[in-house]
Amino acid sequence: MANINELKYTYSLRIADNAWILSHRLSEWCSNGPLLEEDLALTNIALDLIGRAQTFYNYAAQLEGKGKTADDLAYRRNERQYYNNLLAEMPNGNFADTIARQLLMSVYEYYFFMSLQNSKDETFAALAVKTLKEVKYHMAHAADWTVRLGDGTEESHEKAQQAIDNLWMYTGELFEADETDTALIAQGLGVDNPSLHSLWETHIKNVLEEATLRLPTADYMQTGGRKGVHTEHLGHMLGEMQYLQRAYPDAKW
Amino acid sequence: MVSTAYTREDILQLLSRIADPEIPVVTIREIGMLQDVHMTETGCEVIITPTYTGCPAMGIIEADIKSLLDEHDINATVKMVYHPAWTTDNISEAAKEKMKKYGIAPPVHSGCDVANAEAQIACPQCGGKDTEQISRFGSTACKALYKCNECKEPFEYFKCH
């Protein structure tokens, strides 16, 4: 059994990886947004996520105690060493795909950080309080757009429904708990993910209803993020994201 | 060591001159990012807190603090803390007035939830009450985009946080 710092290291890394990978995805919208305000919104959210990733990577590095920096953790690990949820690495697709990913993820994050605020680990709790303020904006943004697209034109409705349906099978693993989760839950340090599922689903259902969209019923769920087993998309993304640090290690501006 | 000539109050006073890089009419002290100064054996430790976790101004602020104290031969380290989380409640009333004159509508109420539509934002240009939100996100993480239906000008609103 891993010691408590190792468990917290893994946990902090997972939170950071989710933020980091999703942030990179959103940054791909920079200069490609459907309208200027949306370009700004998506990149603002990306910036919040970079900030979050940095704080949790810093904490992970501190827990590990090997003198690594947040940058080492972000740029010097391979695909199998990333522990983000698969949902975060899904490609941007069309605008409805991105909004659906934002909705599913930010509502999850809302309940996750609400709960992490009560962690007995002071750093986790403090960072959760800080993060939660930002997540509320992300969630409101995603919900607004879900309603506009779902309850919009026939085409936007169809694309929004398709997007939710396509991403649905990546939502199951958000609520899994492996040995790391279980050990931290037992000590009051981590979030009891499985208990968040019904809160999340009710919340999503309400937004979808307002958007005249259906809650998917398919129950096959893909999993792998916690073990570092990813979809084909992550490798391509890391190839681009890590290129500079891999080709020119320790490059400075 | 020259730095012994300075007290904690002196250093806070000095740092009160540093402007927010993105809203240069207010200082880092007025906006609540400068939290404290601890005197140490070799100099001092300056405690700052970010408005938003990804705020890109933090690097500049840290550099500004170090270079200002360096000019006074004060040996300083800068420490960033996240607790207690920064809130717009930390912004002084005087700073809110300055922001308004600068053209940014200051946060209207405290401890607000995003769910409140923040509908009643007065235009900082003409004072008009008939305004509407264009986007929750603006040129920086801390601002939202609005427009005034009276003077027809767009403006930025410093979001409650």
pLDDT at position B139 is 84
pLDDT at position B3 is 47
Q: What is the mean pLDDT of chain B?
A: 89
Do the beta carbons of residue A161 and residue A118 sit within 8 Å? no
Q: Which is more confidently placed, A143 or B56?
A: A143
> Which residues, 6+ apart, have CB-to-CB distance to A66 below 8 Å?
none
> Over 90: is that where the pLDDT of B99 sits?
yes
Ordered structural domains, chain A, with CATH:
4-214+223-247 (1.20.1260.10)
pLDDT at position A231 is 97
> How far is the CA of A36 from the CAs of A5, A40, A104, B33, B145, in angstroms?
44, 6, 24, 30, 11
pLDDT at position B120 is 80
Q: What is the dihedral of CA A110, A151, B134, A108, to 10 degrees?
A: 10
Name the least confident of A200-204, B43-47, B53-57. Answer: B53-57
Closest CA to A214 of A138, A146, A155: A146
**Pairing status of strand B104-105 against strand B131-135:** unpaired
Regions of chain A where pLDDT drops below 70 = 1
Give chain A positions within 8 Å (CB) of B135.
37-38, 40-41
Angle subtended by helix axes A36-64 and A122-150, to nearest 10: 160
Q: Which residues are paired to B135 by β-bridges? A: B145
> Over 70: is that where the pLDDT of B4 sits?
no
Name the least confident of B15-19, B117-121, B139-143. Answer: B117-121
CB contact under 8 A, B82 and A45: no
pLDDT for B128-158, tens place per residue?
Answer: 999 999 988 888 888 999 999 999 999 999 9
Amino acid at A226: R
Task: Name the interface residues of B facing A (CB cutoff 8 Å).
Answer: 50, 52-56, 82-83, 85-86, 113-115, 134-139, 141, 145, 159, 161
pLDDT at position B145 is 92
d(CA A143, CA A70): 31
Q: Where are the alpha helices (DSSP H) in A65-189?
A: 70-75, 86-89, 95-116, 122-150, 154-167, 179-186
pLDDT at position B55 is 85
Amino acid at B156: E
pLDDT at position A218 is 86
CB contact under 8 A, B85 and A51: no
Do the beta carbons of residue B48 and residue B62 sit within 8 Å? yes
Ordered structural domains, chain B, with CATH:
2-80 (3.30.300.130), 91-158 (no CATH)
d(CA B97, CA A80): 52
pLDDT at position B161 is 82
pLDDT at position A12 is 98
> Over 90: is that where the pLDDT of B64 sits?
yes
pLDDT at position B118 is 58
Q: Which is more confidently placed, B114 or B160?
A: B160
CB contact under 8 A, A51 and B55: yes
**Element containing residue B76 per DSSP (H, E):** strand B76-80
> Over 60: is that where the pLDDT of B111 sits?
no
Residues in chain A: 253
Residue A240, classified by CB atoms within 10 Å of its CB into exposed (0-12), middle (13-18) or buried (19+), is exposed
> Which residues, 6+ apart, have CB-to-CB distance to A42 below 8 Å?
A26, A29, A30, A33, A98
For residue B135, give the nearest of A41, A51, A127 by CB distance: A41
Reported ipTM: 0.83
For residue B136, give the nearest of A41, A47, A127 by CB distance: A41
Closest CA to B148 of B85, B113, B93, B105: B105
- In three-state secondary structure terms, B139 is coil
d(CA A41, CA A37): 6
Mean pLDDT, to the nearest integer, of B60-70?
95
For residue A50, give the nearest of B54, B137, B138 by CB distance: B54
CB contact under 8 A, A41 and B82: no
Q: Which is more confidently placed, B152 or B160?
A: B152
Give chain A positions within 8 Å (CB) of B107.
none
Q: Which two tokens stand for residue B21?
A: 């890089």
CA of A23: which chain B residue's CA is closest? B54
The string over B21-59, giving b where at least 16 C-beta atoms fall within 10 Å of a residue's C-beta and e elsewhere, is: bbbebbbbbbbbbbbebeeeeebbebebbbbbbbbebbe
**Is there a cis peptide before residue B84, judged by omega within 30 degrees of 0?**
yes
